Amino acid sequence: MLHIILFGFSLSSVCSKMAAKQEFLSFKFMLFYGLVLFILFVYAIAWQQVLKKLPLVTAYANKAVTVIWGLVFGLVFFQEKITVQKVIGAVIIILGVYLIVSDGEEIKA
């Protein structure tokens, strides 16, 4: 459930970038900006519910995966290039999330 909420949260960035491409205060600008506000409102409520069930460290560490969604959305919606540096950064984020969430378990090689 946490990752569904974070997926929705990352969609606010897509709507924000779409709003930035529109003429200020035009219908499309207001629509995309309204979507940003709506998504953030729903996210804020859902995030509070997540914090009731998960430790803050676990929930907050997983929030970093929105960077991965940002790469995917950039490619799909805005035809942005995924570079080697971006992939390396995404891998570092995934490893960091794993290390935090694994709660200090020993990694066996």
Tell me the domain boundaries of the chain: 2-101
Diameter of the chain measured on Cα atoms:
57
Query: Residue 61's pLDDT band (boundaries 50, 70, 90)?
Result: confident
Average pLDDT estimate for 37-54: 92
Angle, helices 84-101/66-78, rounded to nearest 10 degrees: 150
Confidence at residue 63, expressed as pLDDT on a 0 to 100 scale: 82
Average pLDDT estimate for 9-33: 92
How far apart CA 71 and CA 58 sit, in angstroms, is: 22
- Is residue 37 scored above 70 in pLDDT? yes
- Is residue 57 scored above 80 in pLDDT? no
90-108 per-position pLDDT tens digit: 888 888 877 877 765 555 5
Q: What's the whole-model pTM score?
A: 0.73
